[in-house]
Structure 1
Amino acid sequence: MGDKLGHKKLAKPLYVEIRIRADMEWVWELSQNPEAHPRWDLRFSRIIPVDRDEQGQVRFRYEFLLPLHTIKGTGTSLGHRHREDGQATSVLKFDTADWLSPIGPGSGYWRYIPTDDGLRFITGYNYQPGMGIIGKALDSTVIRPALGWATAISFDRLRLWAESDLDPKAARNRWFLDAGARAGGVLVAAGLFRRAVTKHSVGSAALGMVAALASTAVPSHWSVPRAGRCLRSAPDERAARALSALAGLREPDQPGNIRQSAEKE
């Protein structure tokens, strides 16, 4: 995936797919518009277009806000909205020199595959681990699973926005409320079980069981985004195959040129 990645052995690419029952044009707008994209995608806080060349390739800068630091990087992308097979596609290359970024240079693609009631929205991407030795050590066990989860829950936020006009910020807040309620239920259940053991209380044990089941088995409301609504492995070979357009996509600006790109904007 890209010239910078070809000479290094990488882990298996991340894959996420979700079904969206909405119009293709609307999903394309929400995912390709640099102002709308960061609203639902947890992996970006800001996307700032720099310029577009004669082939339609867009250079951009991106930011990810941490509590005390902002990770910055550069990228290039190219979208094809109208293809002969009815699909829409987009390819991307990205890079950063920020040592605190868990991901380094990488590339990926989006596929928009029409269905009878909407579309399949798919991404596949890979990257070199960032953060030096620490990043390499944590990539397979912590960072890559976390990125897969973040991508999947982001896709479900996009689905809720496209299908039900539920603002991604509202969906995020509902996720926190749901998670908090479930965590509280688990703590209550633990307290009741402890009381049941120390006081030999059958009633506390029964209440603890009810609290535990309510916290873990009751389904979330439809408006709460869930990563589990996404496929995490490709159902067919074509969906998992990187797009050929990646080969012709220009490399991102060198991370040291981010400031220069900003000044030219």
Structure 2
Amino acid sequence: MRRNSKSRPIYVELDIHTDMDKLWAYTQTAELHEQWDLRFSNIAYLPRKSEGSPQHFRYETRIGFGLRISGTGRTKSAIHRVTGVRLSTLAFGSEQPISLIRHGAGYWQYRPKPNADSITFLTKYDYATRFGVWGQWFDRLLFRPLFGWATAFSFDVLRLWLEKQIPPAVSLQRTVLHYMCVLLLSFLWLYEGLVPKWLFPEAGELAIMQGIHLFPGTELLALKWLGGAEIVLGFIQLLYHRSAHIYGLQLFGLVVLSAGALINAPLLLTHPFNPLVLSAAMVGLNLAGLWTCRDLPDAGRCIRTQGEWKR
């Protein structure tokens, strides 16, 4: 197969604590495979022509806006009798003019780990593209990194299914919910730190700080320090959203900030968007983020370069 120049094949490797037969079934059965693999929306095996012949299949991928990419492929499997290593080779392609991938090939390998109850599951594949030089650049800059990430993310979805019995649909729903909470929380902290405390303190935040009487004569400076802390917390939320500790820190901060403001200025409760309303919403987002931060699929768990060692 002639591949795009200077483009490295996609490689993904992951250790999964399961037995060989179960992993084989979840990856070689079309109805199970399409549930965990983000690259495919539907996979349908075609009748074999004869015993031992390659397994032909059709695949379909929804790319949004009602568009679908469909193609065909064939796969063939082999088992090494001595080592127990299994290999499944794959060739695929699409005749659709809108498909960036013209044709490709690769393999899945299943390596039992000695003295361990796990299997090293890995894939390596490459493909040729359409649309000439423009297609090659689009593939190199965007599509190939995204496709590689989707492969690694899917492998970890499969791991969670096999190791912790978390169905792929549940993993994907929790992932969407978690990142929605993370992005909203980060936005709120960044906005609250920057806009009312740094850019427009006279709009109300400065008066609240003056009403507390804790920083006589330096209220504006204290307000800016508080805003800076909220901005930093917004970035920390983005970076460490998988840690339960960050949500405890935020909950503590929300309680302190809202209680301090309402105790010293109880009339704020009469305002349509007061500290209690905002804090209650942020507490809800924090709890949702906390409950979904564990056992999330993570593409970073996979080895992405052949020969790489990962703890």
TM (norm. structure 2) is: 0.70
Tell me how far 1:88 sits from its aligned partner. Answer: 1.1
With a CA cutoff of 8 Å and minimum separation of 6, indicate the structure with the bigger relative contact order. Answer: 1
Amino acid at match of 1:229: R
SS of 2:307 mapped into structure 1: coil
Amino acid at match of 1:101: S
Tell me how far 1:76 sits from its aligned partner. Answer: 0.6
Task: Give distance in 2, aligned partners of 1:152 and 1:171.
Answer: 14
Task: Give distance in 2, aligned partners of 1:8 and 1:210.
Answer: 43
Higher-Rg member (1/2):
2
Task: Give distance in 2, aligned partners of 1:131 and 1:169.
Answer: 34
Q: Which residue of 1 aligns with 2:103?
A: 105
Contact residue 100 and residue 131 of structure 1 kept, 8 A:
no
Question: What is the aligned counterpart of 2:46 among 47, 50, 55?
Answer: 50
Task: Give distance in 2, aligned partners of 1:21 and 1:38.
Answer: 21
More strand by share: 1
Alpha carbons of 1:8 and 1:129: their partners in 2 closer, same or farther (altered >3 Å)?
Answer: closer
Q: Which residue of 1 aligns with 2:126?
A: 126
SS of 1:66 mapped into structure 2: strand
Tell me how far 1:95 sits from its aligned partner. Answer: 0.9
Q: Which residue of 1 aligns with 2:198?
A: 197
More helix by share: 2
Q: Which residue of 1 aligns with 2:84?
A: 86
Task: Give distance in 2, aligned partners of 1:180 and 1:131.
Answer: 35
Contact residue 48 and residue 62 of structure 1 kept, 8 A:
yes
Q: Which residue of 2 aligns with 1:261?
A: none
Task: Give distance in 2, aligned partners of 1:43 and 1:146.
Answer: 10
Alpha carbons of 1:130 and 1:175: their partners in 2 closer, same or farther (altered >3 Å)?
Answer: farther
Amino acid at match of 2:152: A
Contact residue 56 and residue 75 of structure 2 kept, 8 A:
yes
Task: Give distance in 1, aligned partners of 2:31 and 2:69.
Answer: 18
**Structure 1, residues 45-79: CA drift from partner, whole Å, max 9, x if none?**
11111122333311111111233122110101012
Tell me, which stretches of 5 or more residues in structure 2 are unaligned?
202-219, 244-292
Tell me how far 1:160 sits from its aligned partner. Answer: 0.4
Task: Give distance in 2, aligned partners of 1:7 and 1:191.
Answer: 47
Alpha carbons of 1:15 and 1:178: their partners in 2 closer, same or farther (altered >3 Å)?
Answer: same
Task: Give distance in 1, aligned partners of 2:46 and 2:91.
Answer: 15
Question: What is the aligned counterpart of 2:236 among 213, 221, 224?
Answer: 213
Q: Which residue of 2 aligns with 1:173?
A: 173
Alpha carbons of 1:219 and 1:135: their partners in 2 closer, same or farther (altered >3 Å)?
Answer: same
Task: Give distance in 2, aligned partners of 1:8 and 1:159.
Answer: 31
**Structure 1, residues 150-187: CA drift from partner, whole Å, max 9, x if none?**
00000000000011111001000111112112211221
Contact residue 194 and residue 231 of structure 2 kept, 8 A:
no
Amino acid at match of 2:198: V
Task: Give distance in 1, aligned partners of 2:133 and 2:71.
Answer: 20
SS of 1:161 mapped into structure 2: helix
Amino acid at match of 1:114: P
Aligned residues: CA RMSD: 2.1
Q: Which residue of 1 aligns with 2:254?
A: none
Amino acid at match of 1:206: A
Amino acid at match of 1:223: D
Contact residue 100 and residue 130 of structure 2 kept, 8 A:
yes
Tell me how far 1:110 sits from its aligned partner. Answer: 0.5
Tell me, which stretches of 5 or more residues in structure 1 are unaligned?
237-265
Contact residue 10 and residue 128 of structure 1 kept, 8 A:
no
Alpha carbons of 1:189 and 1:7: their partners in 2 closer, same or farther (altered >3 Å)?
Answer: closer
**Structure 1, residues 88-127: CA drift from partner, whole Å, max 9, x if none?**
1100000101122232200010011111121111000000
Amino acid at match of 2:67: H
